[in-house]
Structure 1
Amino acid sequence: MKKIRWLSIPLILMTLGLEFRVNAAEVQSYNSQGIVGFGPGSGVQPPVNPNKPDPTLPVFPQNPDGSKPNPGGNGSLTIDFASSFDFGNHKISNKDQTYLAKAQKYFDSEVLTPNYVQVTDRRGTFAGWNLKVVEKTQVTQIDSGPQKYKVLKGATINLKSSETASFTNEKSPKTQTISGLIPGVETQVALASTGEGAGTWVIRWGNDSMVTEDGLTTAVSLFVPGDTPKDATAYTTTLNWILSGLPTNVPN
Structure 2
Amino acid sequence: MKRIIFMSIAFLGTILFFGGQFDQVQAVGTQEGGAEIDLKRFKEKHSVIRDPENPEVQVDPGETPQTEGDLRIDFVPKLNFSTVTIADKALILPVNAQLFHGNTNARGNFVQVSDYRDNSTGWTLQVRQEQQFKHATKPGAELKGAVISLDQTWTNSTKDASLSPIVSKEVIHMSNVGDTYNLAQAQPEKGSGTWSIIFGASKENKNDRQNSLEPRLDASGNAIEDPIFKKPVYSNQAITLSVPKETEKEAGAYSTVLTWILAELP
Percent same amino acid among aligned pairs? 29
Aligned to 1:25: 26
Pairwise CA distance, 1:231 = 1.0
Instruction: List alignment gaps of at least 5 residues for structure 1.
Output: 1-21, 63-67, 248-252
Measure, in 2, the Cα distance between the counterparts of 1:152 and 1:34: 64
More helix by share: 1
In 2: Cα distance, 1:49 partner to 1:25 partner = 61
With over 3 angstroms needed to count, the CA separation of the structure-2 counterparts of 1:152 and 1:109, relative to structure 1, is: same
Shift of 1:124: 2.4
CA contact under 8 A between 1:126 and 1:196: conserved in structure 2? yes
**TM-score of the superposition, structure 1-length normalised?**
0.79
* Residue 91 to residue 227, structure 1, CA distance change in 2 (3 Å): same
Give the counterpart of 1:231 among 244, 250, 256.
Answer: 250
Distance in 1 (CA, whole Å) between partners of 2:158 and 2:81 is 30
- Partner residue of 2:235? 216
Choose 1 or 2 for highest CA Rg. Answer: 1
CA distance in structure 1 between the aligned counterparts of 2:212 and 2:45, rounded to whole angstroms: 33
Greater relative contact order structure (CA < 8 Å, 6+ sep): 2
Shift of the alpha carbon at 1:53? 1.5
Whichever residue aligns with residue 97 of structure 1, its letter is L
Determine the structure 2 residue equivalent to 1:60: 60
What is the aligned-residue RMSD (CA, Å)?
2.1
1:203-248 Cα offsets, whole Å, 9 max, x none, are 000111111133111101100011100111100111110001012x
Aligned residues: 215
SS of the aligned residue for 2:215 comes to coil
2:222 is aligned to none
Runs of at least 5 residues in structure 2 that lack an aligned partner in the other structure = 1-22, 203-210, 217-233
Letter in 2 for 1:26: A
* TM-score scaled by length of structure 2: 0.75
* In 2, Cα distance between equivalents of 1:32 and 1:42: 32
Q: Give 3-state SS (helix, strand or coil) of 1:212's partner.
A: strand
Which residue of the partner structure matches residue 14 of structure 2?
none
